[in-house]
Each structure stands twice: as C-alpha cells, then as structure tokens.
Amino acid sequence: MSKPKKGKEKSDTKAESMMTGKKTLALAIGLIVILAIVTATYILLSPGTGNPMTGKPVVNGTGAGAAAVAGNSVSVYYTGMFTNGTVFDSNVNETPITFTVGSHQVIPGFEDALVGMMAGQTKTVTIPVDQAYGSYNPENIHVINRTGTLATMNLTPGDVLTFRNPSTNAVSGVIILDVAPDTVTVDANNPLVGEPLIFTIQLVSINQDTG
C-alpha cells in the first residue's frame, strides 16, 4: 500500500505507531514550513504521493466483463494487513480510492494485482517487500536544524510528522528519532518499509473520464 512472517509484537508496534495522532509540518531538506497538527495514517500510497481520491466524475467505459489493464482508471476498496493478520489500514465502508493503473500512484504490487481483474471481483494478494515499500534505507535518516517555528514545537521521539515538499507539493512523512535543543533527527523511511504486506482488493469499477 510483504517478507517472511514477522512476530505479532513487531507488527502490532508498527500498526500502533501509524494509528497514533500525528503532528504535521511542511519540510524539504534545508527548507521547513510548519503546518497544522493533523491525524493521519500511512496507507498504500507510494512514498511521496498524495491520496488520489480526487478527479473528474467517472463512468463505466470498458464494456461488460472487461478486465482492468494499464491506462484504466479504477475505483477500489482495500484492506491492508501484516502477515500476522493485523490490519493496518482499510477504506471499506468509506470512499473507494480512484487512480489510473500504470500511473504509479500506488505501490507496484497493489497496482499489478489489479491487472486482469474485472469490476466486482475481490481477491487477496501477498505483496513482497520489493513490490511494497522496499528495504530499509539508512540514507533516509536526516538531522534537521531546529529553526523558526520548529524550535518551539513540542517534539517527542516516536511521533510521526507528515510533511509537504514545497517544490512538488507531494505529501509524505517522517518518524522523529531524537530531539536535541538545536536539532531533530528524523527517519524518512515509510513505517511499512521492510514488510511483506497482504491486501484484500475489491475492484468496484473500471472507469473512464467523462471529459
């Protein structure tokens, strides 16, 4: 939004961390703009992308029984789980996400699972690490100077901060690792990094822009 099954304790800890209230700030390396505190969770979106739930109204434009292919706009319900069965995110009973297959708005394994599915079909897939959020990258650890508003924020290790890149307007997040008087150390690896993931996917519809 997947690796040999890990213990429930580790997965539960990650799930709890993601579901905790999170502070929000806008930051680019070397440029930080503080935003309002919000509650957010990490879902299946690729790191650095926003939630593709907006766009033009869509209608079924593929014909009865047609299967999804790259280039189709699709609307999807999903439930994401760790390999021990712990659910970390779901949009069931909410608004389905809508995106274009092949546009890389979601993780590769999720996108690939949709190819060949038909509207109304549901399936469960296990997505390996390299098709989910990848392996842990130590280069994503950053030490940031506490200047401006950041200097007065009440920051606590373990807090998750969402941020917006001013140049791309992309939204992502970091985990606070350490707080010092003059600096804050953050981990920009996605909380789901290094995990094989299980998704139950329901393809609600295959759509086409009305123009």
pLDDT tens digits for range 94-128: 999 999 999 999 999 999 999 999 999 999 999 99
3-state SS track over the chain: CCCCCCCHHHHHHHHHHHHCCEEEEEEECCEEEECCCECCCCCCECCCCCCCCCCCCEEECCCCCCECCCCCEEEEEEEEECCCCCEEEECCCCCCEEEECCCCCECHHHHHHHCCCECCCEEEEEECHHHCCCCCCHHHEEEEECCHHHHCCCCCCCCEEEEECCCCCCEEEEEEEEECCCEEEEECCCCCCCCCEEEEEEEEEEEEECC
pTM over 0.85: no
Encode pLDDT of 55-79 as tens digits: 333 333 334 568 999 999 999 999 9
Confidence (pLDDT) at 18: 39
Residue 7, Cβ neighbours under 10 Å: how many?
Answer: 9
Confidence (pLDDT) at 149: 80
Amino acid in position 140: N
Confidence (pLDDT) at 208: 64
| Tokens standing for residue 145 | 């100077």
Domain 8-50+61-209: state its class: alpha beta
Encode pLDDT of 162-175 as tens digits: 777 777 776 777 89
Contact status, residue 158 vs residue 87, Cβ threshold 8 Å: no
Rounded to the nearest 5 degrees, what angle is found at the Cα of 72, between the Cα atoms of 71 and 78?
120
184-208 mean pLDDT: 93
12-25 mean pLDDT: 38
**Residue 15 above 60 pLDDT?**
no
Query: Exposed/middle/buried for 201, CB within 10 Å: 0-12, 13-18, 19+?
Result: buried
Confidence (pLDDT) at 65: 67
- Where are the domains positioned within the chain? 8-50+61-209
* Cα dihedral 50→149→28→108 (10° resolution): -30
Instruction: Give the C-alpha separation, 18 to 6, whole Å.
Output: 17
Confidence (pLDDT) at 160: 83
